[in-house]
């Protein structure tokens, strides 16, 4: 058997080959929870005043949302990503923002190793949904301060006309590469009730579940945005 690179590595490598080194950017004016700009709520999901708050992103990619929270929200943000090339992009774009740090690593391993605690943890199509929820949510819960927020968006289980999983196992999904090819990835495709049950088991309480729809798409929801709070 020939070992394959992670689809996330291939995605980042193709993007970097096409765009070249990351240039310095200003932080975006809004936090996005979906791939459609301006859709649904923004950073207020994580709290109305994030100044000085410790915030962690699981699967930050090129760091746009982390940069927004650090520069515009004045939060102290750490972005973790599995792929070093993504962290290089994030640092290239936003390394000038002093209260944003970008670290290469697996979200679960980072949470297990850190002694830090957080006022908010979030994931935007990132590690939540791509790592076994019973492990990842438990690790998040241990690092959240009392009453702190976990929020995450995932591809909606009904986005392609399908249904959410009826068990706790992952399904095979595909990730579209910049060159248009698709590579397989395992994804947990739960509805809000199943997420709520998993959250409850780890000491978190689901506080909101929002279906987001692209305004010019068909009627199907594209993104599921879940918010929870530590007891």
Ligand X SMILES: C[S@@+](CC[C@H](N)C(=O)[O-])C[C@H]1O[C@@H](n2cnc3c(N)ncnc32)[C@H](O)[C@@H]1O
Rounded to a whole number of angstroms, the minimum distance from the CB of residue 170 to ligand X is 12
Is 42 or 59 the residue whose CB approaches ligand X more closely? Answer: 59
Is 85 or 199 the residue whose CB approaches ligand X more closely? Answer: 85
Q: What is the DSSP letter of 38?
A: T
- 106 sits near ligand X (criterion: CB under 6 A): yes
CA distance 104 to 75: 20
Is 11 or 230 the residue whose CB approaches ligand X more closely? Answer: 11
- 36 sits near ligand X (criterion: CB under 6 A): no
Structure-block tokens of residue 50: 């994030």
Q: What H or E segment, with its residue span, contains residue 206?
A: strand 204-212
Strands 182-187 and 100-104: unpaired
Interaction residues for ligand X, span 73-92 (CB under 6 A): 80-83, 86
CB 81 within 8 A of CB 102: yes
Site string for ligand X, 2-21 (x = CB under 6 A): ------x-------------
Is 146 or 180 the residue whose CB approaches ligand X more closely? Answer: 180
Rounded to a whole number of angstroms, the minimum distance from the CB of residue 146 to ligand X is 25
- 94 sits near ligand X (criterion: CB under 6 A): no
| Dihedral angle, C-alpha 201, 207, 211, 212, nearest 10 ° | -120
Query: Distance of CA 157 to CAs 25, 57, 164, 228, Å?
Result: 33, 22, 5, 19
Is 52 or 108 the residue whose CB approaches ligand X more closely? Answer: 108
Interaction residues for ligand X, span 113-142 (CB under 6 A): 124-127, 130-131
CA distance 43 to 49: 10
Q: Footprint of ligand X on this chain (CB under 6 A)?
A: 8, 58-61, 64, 80-83, 86, 106-107, 124-127, 130-131
């Amino acid at each position: 058997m020939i070992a394959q690179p992670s689809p996330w590595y291939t995605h980042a490598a193709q993007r970097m080959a096409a765009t070249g080194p990351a240039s310095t950017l200003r932080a975006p004016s809004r936090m996005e929870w979906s791939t459609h700009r301006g859709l649904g709520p923004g950073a207020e999901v994580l709290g109305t005043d994030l100044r000085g708050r410790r915030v962690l992103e699981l699967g930050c990619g090129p760091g746009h949302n982390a940069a927004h929270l650090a520069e515009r929200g004045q939060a102290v943000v750490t972005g973790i990503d599995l792929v070093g090339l993504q962290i290089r992009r994030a640092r290239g774009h936003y390394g000038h923002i002093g209260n944003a740090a970008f670290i290469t690593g697996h979200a679960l391993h980072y949470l297990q190793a850190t002694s830090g605690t957080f006022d908010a943890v979030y994931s935007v199509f990132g590690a939540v949904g791509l790592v076994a929820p019973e492990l990842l949510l438990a690790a998040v819960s241990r690092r959240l301060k009392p009453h702190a927020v976990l929020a995450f968006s995932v591809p909606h289980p009904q986005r392609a006309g399908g249904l959410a999983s009826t068990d706790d196992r992952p399904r095979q999904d595909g990730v579209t590469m910049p060159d248009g090819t698709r590579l397989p990835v395992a994804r947990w495709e739960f509805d809000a009730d199943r997420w709520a049950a998993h959250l409850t088991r780890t000491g978190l309480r689901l506080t909101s579940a929002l279906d987001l729809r692209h305004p010019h798409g068909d009627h199907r929801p594209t993104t599921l945005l879940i918010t929870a709070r530590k007891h």
